[in-house]
Amino acid sequence: MKVRVAAAQYPISQHSSFEAWASHVHQWVEDAAQNEAKLLVFPEYGAMELTSIFPPNLQSSLQGQVFEFSNWQEKFIDVWKTAAQLHKVVIVAPSLPIIVDGRPVNRAMVFSEKGYVGYQDKFFMTRFENEEWGISSGEKVLSIFEADWGRFGIQICYDVEFPIGSQLLASEGVQLVVAPSCTETIRGATRVHIGARARALENQLYTAVAQTVGNALWSPAVDINYGYAGFYATPDKNLPEEGIILLGEVQKPSWVYHTLDFDLLEQVRADGQVFNYRDQQSIATKLLYHKVETKIVKVG
């Protein structure tokens, strides 16, 4: 099985109205669909551009804007649902703060022709999220999204720098892990890409990174962004010798496309130069204070 994936190098843009933002979203989705992408991956916190239509006092308030998103959540979902249904694609929408039991968590929602199908919350918080923004760790559930071309999972930014999520996803049949990310420095972007590259090696699967790019100095949350998209595989037979499939041009707003062939992964797992996936299954990975659960979400 194969799937063409579009990973976004996404700028945080200012918009004059909600309708202008919605039109912007539809244009991005339409561009990817016209390039025959079936899975579209937007970056972490790309939804923060919506704050450009908030009142000035909320645009400058880190905590205030987080709770204001609750008033826009239904309309946000409707825009992405409509775009996915219109273009017959699966979309990992840009993540945003969602209030759960009174606490803000970082959530990436997934849409398809069925509409809004599910989400993935971020497990591990960065210092900025924890100490300055007040974003909390989400529920310890890993969603396994099942399409007609295969299964994929989501590891949001910092999460992909740890083995636990990708290993558990791989053990449930996931062959593609997508990593929506938002970083402000070369170091930050590099950490995410190294993590994605390592997860591809450990589990003999594909990873795809989507990142925010450029500056949005009007936003205290995502004012500076450094990033690029990338696709990675395990370095083995019939796959790139360094494990790097494709990298986008740094800081350039664009889609980066690649068609992933899952049959190549099956061949490597069955008769590769090494058996990382098989041997990784003999390692017990867990969180000390929380049980991590998995659930299957059908997108088609």
- Is residue 70 over pLDDT 90? no
What's the token pair of residue 157?
């930014």
Residue 58: pLDDT above 90? no
Give tens-digit pLDDT for 156-174: 999 999 999 999 999 999 9
Domain count, the chain: 1
pLDDT of residue 1: 93
Q: Which residues of 262-278 are buried (b: 16+ CB within 10 A; e: fewer)?
A: bebbeebbeebeeebbe
Q: 78-123, pLDDT tens digit by residue?
A: 999 999 999 999 999 999 999 999 999 999 999 999 999 999 999 9
Check which CATH number belongs to the domain holding 21 and give it: 3.60.110.10
Q: What is the mean pLDDT of residues 35-48?
A: 97
- Is pLDDT of 264 > 90? yes
What pTM does this model have? Answer: 0.97
**Beta strand pairing status for 206-215 and 2-11?**
parallel
CA–CA distance, 100 with 268 (Å, rounded to integer): 41
Query: Quick one: pLDDT at residue 64?
Result: 86
pLDDT(59) > 90? no
Name the residue with higher pLDDT: 147 or 66: 147
List the domain range (segments joined by +) for residue 237.
2-298
* DSSP-derived secondary structure for 180-202: EE--SSHHHHHHHHHHHHHHHHH
